[in-house]
Structure 1
Amino acid sequence: MKTFRLSLVAATLCFAFSHAQAASQSVDSLSVFSNVKAGSPQQVLQQYVGQSAAGLTLVRSNESLLGKHYYYQQMLHGLPIDQADVAVSIGHNGQLLKVHNQARQVSAEDAAKAFKQLHSLSKIGNEAALDRAWANMKVQHALLKAPQADMVWVVGKDGVQLAYKVQIAAEMPTGGFVQYLSAQDGSLLKSYSTSLPRHAKNGERSLEARATLLGGTLDRAAATQAVAKRQAQQLSSGALATPSGINGTGFVFDPDPRTTLNNDSITDTSAASVFEPAYFNKPLRDLTVTNGVYSLSGPFVNIKNIESPATAPSTTTNGAWTAKRGNNAFDDTNVYFHLDQNQRYIQSLGFTGTKSIINRPLDVDTDGLNGDDNSHYSYGGATDYLAFGHGCVNDSEDADVILHEYGHAIHRNINSNWSGGDTGAMGEGFGDYWAGSYSYSTANGKTYHPEWAFSWDGHNSCWGGRMMNRTDAKYNSSKTYGAHSSVTENGVTFVSDELWSTPLFQSLTALVAAGKSRDNVDKIILEAHFGLGSGVTMRQMATSIVNAAKNLFPNDLTYANTFQAKFEAQNILGAVVPPGPSMNETESNNTAATANTVSTTNTTVNGTMSANSDLDFFKVSLNPGLTLSATLTPNSTSDYDLHLFDSNGTTQLASSVKGTGQVDTVSYKNTGTSPKTLYVRVKYYSGGTGATNGKYTLNLKW
């Protein structure tokens, strides 16, 4: 049986524009537009999302440099379908920018089954779900917020399944997880971590790994009462959200001692005197002063104790922090300075007011994680924070680590649905890039290992750090890239995070070398993250970045072309092929022997499934070294499948069997030395047939 399918907007984009220059481009569930008048968000939904729009509820909106973005949650019988969302982006000029459509096609039969689950079948209840999730997670550290259980629909192979979405956030190393438990029997359906560490030193975070840990589990009721009491006590000591105008000073590394001194030989155990030339005395802006005591709490950063060990934030009576490495007060000033400076940089790019990104005090613990050599961004509901561990090099001594974790916060605060797809690897890769972008702008940044991520904290005996020049890493669209995963592709092994950081960072270095500003590059990348929902893939994110570059700098395509080239180099995007001819499918072509011949690259075939037994074959001659890409777009209410066969017409080389209204793609490279005959087959699975209801398009390019 096929799995329950996405109803993708790409399947509904066969339309004619009244404007001669109007155009669209679709990559999986993302479509970007140019010169298309938008109308209202509701009109966009009706036109490009179709029948699934009826179940969508507007849950939030935000603004960016280019426009306003509307985010919709798909509902069924009053409950959300998890990771089923649609984002509509409309430019300030009234033009449609993009539509990211993760809505699910729910049949009448599936809706009826869901109604029965909700109203007729027994359920374990919220408390039992919380108990089960607590045991699964083996909670051994204090809670950061009260656990929460909500009923949702989870997409499964037989439609939708009623589940409890349980969110538990605790101090590291327990950390946070979201778990989906069957509403009927409490069994675990799936889970993911909401604590995002900078590297997988102790293995990937998973419930399976936690189940093997020794030691007991905290009592849930007692832990929940304790966190409620602690939160009540903290309400009266919140950070100031407005600038105080009171500044202090403190010593920092900028960005780190190795880069500043251009010296590979410096280690964590080097003599204190070695570090003296690496210190900078920097302003600490907009501090809080209470009864003559200065604290590192400002409009964008709030240093506080969140995780073990219980280290109180440093304070002074004169606003001057004089501590150096080895003293927690230095960790406090280093983190405060870099985060405060980075937020002000983001605002200098234009992300202010209604376009702001984390324009608020972000809680930060500079001595957390129970002393582990790691750092993380954690979120749960409306709360989020950063924590940095001490071990080997203190993570809070390296601007790369600080800004990497801030990168996670940037993602989550632009897109609260940032999960699924390739978001694991992209979150880590973007964090590496965001840190690398700043380091590259410092005095020795362009000469001291600019390709290194974590120049001080990593690339030593503690851990190897990561690289941002892995141009040998290649993307495979059939895979999903999680965080910190070891990947082997075409005999080359790399970390999944590097597959994303590399094209971003290589674009930056190429554009700066061409005389373009780092500010503009960062502006493009930040802008591209708006207007997306869950399940984002690298192909979609790359398309959004190239499109943002075109829209922000329409008169200077150097930006868009450079990003395009770097993404192509990693196989994340394909080369832009000039528009090709169109042809009509002709019967009878039900076998390889009677296949319609396609002889020109980028040909679009207008086809029809004449009956539920129909098979349509197409013949292509592929020269050595070329790759055939076939893209099948059915009509929005039908499911047709795509198959690729060898020259004998029977040996299958590839297939794609996605769902109703969903785009299928297959590809094949001729690695031989002579032309190769290939056969592409379109096969009926379900939905419409005939001249009116059986239409599809097939694009073939090589």
Structure 2
Amino acid sequence: MKLKITSLILGSVLCCTGLMAQESSFEAPASGWIKENSRNLGIQNFSKLSLHSVRKGNTGETLRYQQFIKDVPVFQSEILVHFNKEGKISYTSSESFKKNLKEIDTVPSVSASDAFKKAYAASKSQGEITYQENKLFVYLTDEGDTKLVYRIVINSYERSGSWETIVNAKTREIISVKDIALYHRHQDEDAQSSKKKTKKLNKAVGFKASGSGYVYDPDPLSKTGSTYGGSYVDGNDATNASLDNARSLVTLSDIEFANNVYKLKNAYVEIRNISAPSTGLFTQATNQFLFNRSELGFEAVNAFWHIDKSLRYINETLGIVCKPTTNGGAVIYDPHALNGDDNSQYTTAGTLEFGQGGVDDAEDADVILHELGHGIHHWLSGGVSNADGLSEGSGDYWAQSYSRSLNQWPSSTPQYNWMFSWDGHNDIWNGRITNYTVLYPGSGAIHTKGQIWASALMRIYDKIGKEKTDRAFLEGLDLTTSTTNQKNAAVAVRQAAIDMLGQFGFTCK
């Protein structure tokens, strides 16, 4: 039965669009749906909802409503309403909405600066702060308590990770400290290598130019149909004729030319030193970035080209707007980071950082695109959910979607389904696969569970092709929230495909 609510209560449930929110012609029907379903949604009369995000895409228009108590947002709590191209509601989500809040005082007793000092110490941040957030939220603890908190995120130069600290805004108590960076593999996953020594550099009005550089597309083994061993080993970054011949010469589009040097920077991606070690930016006096893998510049060029190519494909070929909201819409990357660890990460600062342990991560397109996949997930949904390993599987899918499109391995070979063909599946670590047969929800670490999601998507890919699967996947992520699991993500991807019927080759048989 639908609940009839007085206008007084309705006013407390839905507030006017704030200054930071976008406008939509669907705001009235979306608000109407929320009011109509307020009892089932569990909306309490002391909280309110405000339209904070409108995204228009090939499937229609998605409106996201943020939950507030007084004027303080509730952390990771929203209701999503999606309208298809016909202007009808085709999908809704309230899985992240917090129903069990208690009304609390929302005036902090602790200053934001004091909370930051507590967080800096608790997170053991070291060196220069490269990114920080400090926001006041209403927060539902794991124990079900409603607290007023500062959520503080700190990235620092000498400490790997992106550290989130929740500080009680009334008592200064540290509620939690955790690393929220998203890695290409679990820290303990089949680790058999240690940090690699950092190699020494040989030191030697802008406009956009075209350049050239060598890359692995996607890696030396797939390019040549080889297996790890013999000439095709990491060898502490040593190169040889076989590994040099596995390179491809590519165009570096729209790179910056300023102060008589060319830089790996354009509208989509920019190189920076984000975390230790500091290896430079590899600017060149000419537009030729012709490195081999024994030179640090090779990983810089390889990562730049793959990130740029992938984002151009999404934004220009598919016509799906997908960029970070930070850094002017450009992805910032560091090809030699994390203190030389054998791992890589995406942070919500819109940054990608690649380690150098084992095979340098930025030599393998699977690693680069997996980490970019986390970013894509974040930019499309406004949050990153790793429930059931959703974001890990999304990163694996995005990398595999590209590498399989190159048609380098027959479907009868194990490598056809390998993730991290150069970085993994060797004596360093075991890599992952996209023909994982374990049934949902599976068990184990999030990276292990993510193989279920990636494998399901790749089965669809083999049936309907890359472009349609990519479109459904990307538009489906736009319908997810910060707590979406694989099951609900599958519903979202399916609905996105339905909402594109009659476009881009989508048909219903």
1:135 aligns with one of 108, 121, 133: 121
The answer as to 2:496 corresponding to 1:502 is: no
Distance change >3 Å, CA 559–CA 138, structure 1 → 2: farther
2:214 aligns with one of 236, 240, 251: 251
Amino acid at match of 1:103: F
2:233 aligns with one of 263, 267, 288: 267
1:361 aligns with one of 327, 330, 342: 330
For residue 470 of structure 1, report the CA deviation from its aligned partner.
Answer: 1.0
2:418 aligns with one of 437, 448, 452: 452
For residue 65 of structure 1, report the CA deviation from its aligned partner.
Answer: 1.1
Distance change >3 Å, CA 95–CA 325, structure 1 → 2: same
1:378 aligns with one of 347, 353, 375: 347
For residue 303 of structure 1, report the CA deviation from its aligned partner.
Answer: 1.4
2:406 aligns with one of 425, 428, 442: 442
Tell me the distance in 1 between the aligned counterparts of 2:476 and 2:181: 24
For residue 201 of structure 1, report the CA deviation from its aligned partner.
Answer: 3.0
SS, match of residue 299 in structure 1: coil
Tell me the distance in 2 between the aligned counterparts of 1:12 and 1:427: 36
CA contact (8 A) 1:172 1:370 kept: yes
- CA deviation vs aligned residue, 1:637-661 (integer Å, no higher than 9, x gap): xxxxxxxxxxxxxxxxxxxxxxxxx
Alignment of 1:40-59 (within 5 A): 40-50=29-39, 52=43, 55-59=48-52
SS, match of residue 160 in structure 2: coil
For residue 404 of structure 1, report the CA deviation from its aligned partner.
Answer: 0.6
Alignment of 1:173-572 (within 5 A): 173-202=159-188, 246-264=209-227, 265=229, 266-269=232-235, 272-352=240-320, 355-358=321-324, 360-379=329-348, 383-419=349-385, 421-422=387-388, 425-447=389-411, 449-475=415-441, 483-484=446-447, 495-509=448-462, 511=463, 516-553=464-501
Tell me the distance in 1 between the aligned counterparts of 2:212 and 2:508: 41
Distance change >3 Å, CA 124–CA 558, structure 1 → 2: closer
CA contact (8 A) 1:253 1:398 kept: yes
Distance change >3 Å, CA 281–CA 158, structure 1 → 2: closer
- CA deviation vs aligned residue, 1:425-453 (integer Å, no higher than 9, x gap): 11111111100010001141445612111
For residue 397 of structure 1, report the CA deviation from its aligned partner.
Answer: 0.7
Distance change >3 Å, CA 402–CA 12, structure 1 → 2: farther
SS, match of residue 178 in structure 1: strand
Quick check: which has more Rg, 1 or 2? 1
The answer as to 2:99 corresponding to 1:105 is: yes
For residue 505 of structure 1, report the CA deviation from its aligned partner.
Answer: 1.6
- CA deviation vs aligned residue, 1:478-534 (integer Å, no higher than 9, x gap): x8x8633xxxxxxxxxx222122111122212x1xxxx3311110110000113322
Amino acid at match of 2:459: Q
Structure with the larger strand share: 1
SS, match of residue 287 in structure 1: strand
For residue 200 of structure 1, report the CA deviation from its aligned partner.
Answer: 1.8
For residue 202 of structure 1, report the CA deviation from its aligned partner.
Answer: 4.3
Q: Percent identity?
A: 26
Tell me the distance in 1 between the aligned counterparts of 2:72 and 2:428: 47
Equivalent residues, number: 458
Q: Alpha carbon RMSD of aligned pairs, Å?
A: 3.0
SS, match of residue 150 in structure 1: strand
Tell me the distance in 1 between the aligned counterparts of 2:378 and 2:489: 15
Amino acid at match of 1:458: G
Q: Return 444-453 or 548-557, whichever deviates more.
A: 548-557
Tell me the distance in 1 between the aligned counterparts of 2:398 and 2:97: 31
For residue 135 of structure 1, report the CA deviation from its aligned partner.
Answer: 2.9
For residue 378 of structure 1, report the CA deviation from its aligned partner.
Answer: 1.3
**Match in the other structure for 1:213:** none
Amino acid at match of 1:303: I
**Match in the other structure for 2:67:** 74
CA contact (8 A) 1:436 1:450 kept: no
SS, match of residue 496 in structure 1: helix
Tell me the distance in 1 between the aligned counterparts of 2:367 and 2:226: 19
For residue 103 of structure 1, report the CA deviation from its aligned partner.
Answer: 2.8
Tell me the distance in 2 between the aligned counterparts of 1:403 and 1:307: 20
- CA deviation vs aligned residue, 1:51-78 (integer Å, no higher than 9, x gap): 7286001222222211121111111122
CA contact (8 A) 1:546 1:560 kept: no
The answer as to 2:127 corresponding to 1:144 is: no
Amino acid at match of 1:257: P
For residue 291 of structure 1, report the CA deviation from its aligned partner.
Answer: 3.5
